[in-house]
Amino acid sequence: MEETKDYQHLRSPQKTESLPTHQTVELKFSVPWGHIAGRAWGDPCGQPVLCVHGILDNAGSFDGLIPLLPSIFYCVCVDLPGHGYSSHFPQGLPLDFMDYVLALVRVLNQLQWESCCYIGHSLGGHLGLYLCSLWPEKVRKLVLLDTIGPMYVNAGMYLSHNNMMMEEVLTIEKKFSKEKSPSYSYKEALDRVTINRYSEITEEVAKILLRRSLMKNDDGTFRFITDQRLKSGLRPLLNERQQQLILNGAKCPILAVLSSLPRMIGTIDDVMTDFELFNSKQNFQRIDVEGSHDLYMNYPERVTPYIGKFLINQRCAL
């Protein structure tokens, strides 16, 4: 683990511009295909918390939330592979959900954390569920930010779903080869992030995400460095029974902070099936908060009181 001093394009301030009183350090973890980047907040001697963003986002998505948590925590926010400053998985292969789970285990091993608390948004929450089910000793508490699922694949749809995913990978590879990577002005890039997104985010949040999502070209334009294969989606191809085994395997205390607006994926039946499994657990708490899928970025003050109480205590006052 080391500071990312070697990046030519990487701004590595010791303090964030918008939050000057909170110290941050850029980190880099070695992995077989390159490195995983991250940002650490707080005292390394504090209680460890791993923070994992949603698909097509990056570690910057926690910039508003972390400073509002109690100072007793040491938070490491990672860029998942293919996001932010992290290396992409090897080209020519479809992305695999379990490779992302294993990437997080590699990070925890290099941090030498025996166990930690975990905060995950959307995809990051899905990965956290699998992590605490497969490596229960590594996760003490799990916070899910607008995360339900990931949704299972019905047996009758398995072949067609696989075919669709593979075809999407081939289409994306052809469209986004290195020679043909589209370039944008900063304003155009900002518009793409704010307008083309499922869930509305503020311009301030969009600018934070762009800091770790853009590479500047020699001509002054910008290109996105996010792995375009992610646009085909990322989910484990499990049936309902297998999904239930994963959810049942999560033994640690879980806090689910859900937005008031509809879920991004899945049907209401899928969501209720997952809630039935969760609600049967004595260690599960659910909080509904007004806002959209990205409410923790737009309005972090709405969720941090619950998260802080939950991480410090076994249960938070709802």
CATH code for the domain in which residue 90 is found: 3.40.50.1820
- For the chain, how big is the Rg over CA atoms in Å? 19
Q: For 279-310, give one letter per residue: b (16+ CB within 10 A) or e.
A: eeeeebbeeebebbbbbbbbbbebbbebbbbb
Residue 131 lies in a domain: yes
- Helix and strand element counts for the chain (H, E): 9, 11
Sequence-separated (6 or more) residues with CB below 8 Å from residue 32: none
Distances (CA, A) of 137 to 123, 141, 198, 207: 21, 11, 35, 37
Which residues form the catalytic set? 122
Distances (CA, A) of 303 to 144, 177, 179, 263, 306: 11, 40, 43, 17, 6
Residue 271 lies in a domain: yes
- Please report, in tens digits, the pLDDT of each residue of the chain (318 residues total): 444 433 333 333 333 333 333 689 999 999 999 999 999 999 999 999 999 999 999 999 999 999 999 999 999 999 999 999 999 999 888 899 999 999 999 999 999 999 999 999 999 999 999 999 999 999 999 999 998 766 677 777 888 888 888 898 888 888 777 566 789 999 999 999 998 887 889 999 999 999 999 999 999 999 999 998 998 888 888 888 888 888 888 899 999 999 987 554 443 344 445 556 666 667 889 999 999 999 999 999 999 999 999 999 855 444
Tally of domains within the chain: 1
- For residues 271 and 258, what is the distance between their CA atoms, to the nearest angstrom? 12
Looking at residue 238, what is its pLDDT? Answer: 83
Give the range of the structural domain holding residue 240, as residue numbers without chain letter. Answer: 2-156+235-312
Residue 181 lies in a domain: no
Q: Which two tokens stand for residue 90?
A: 């090897």
Residue 168 lies in a domain: no
Q: Which two tokens stand for residue 288?
A: 């509904």
- For residues 235 and 205, what is the distance between their CA atoms, to the nearest angstrom? 26
32 preceded by a cis bond (ω within 30 of 0): no
